[in-house]
Every structure is written in structure tokens, then in C-alpha cells.
Amino acid sequence: MVAKSLKQHGFNASPIHGDLEQSQRMKTLDGFRDGSLHLLVAPGGRRRGPRRARPGHAAAAPRPAGRQSASTG
């Protein structure tokens, strides 16, 4: 739902989760790596198995080489 809403508002986003076929997950990750996809949307994560501590933050992946952010021109 989040990725769909982002797309409707003009953002280049795609979901990535365990319900996707492996080939689709790889295609999505390849697009993010090569810069053709700008946002990955992952679920909050359901707990499976033993209880684990939840991360307190999210980290952004580095930009592909040679790409500038909108703020740097």
C-alpha cells in the first residue's frame, strides 16, 4: 500500500518483501542498485521464531556512483 501510494504521488518506489518471487525481488534490487528505482519499501517485519529486539532505526543505502541528489544539483 505504501509503495502504491508513493507511485501515485510521483515517486519511483517499489515494494520488497517475502511474498515476491525471487526473480522479482532480484529485479527490484537490481533497479535500486542501477539507479532506475529510487525507493524500496519494506514491511515493518513480523516476528517469527524466538523474540528478537526490533531495530531502533532504518538505514539508507548509499547512492549509486555518479548520481547526485536533488539538493546538490
Domain residue limits, the chain: 2-41
DSSP state of 64: P
Task: Quote the pLDDT of residue 73.
Answer: 47
Highest mean pLDDT among 19-23, 41-45, 60-64: 19-23
On average, the pLDDT of the chain sits at 76
Helices then strands, each counted (H, E), the chain: 2, 2
Task: Quote the pLDDT of residue 3.
Answer: 87
pTM score, whole prediction: 0.56
Task: Quote the pLDDT of residue 14.
Answer: 92
Residue 71 has pLDDT above 90, yes or no: no
CA atoms within 13 A on the CB side of 35: 8
| CA–CA distance, 46 with 44 (Å, rounded to integer) | 7
Task: Quote the pLDDT of residue 70.
Answer: 53
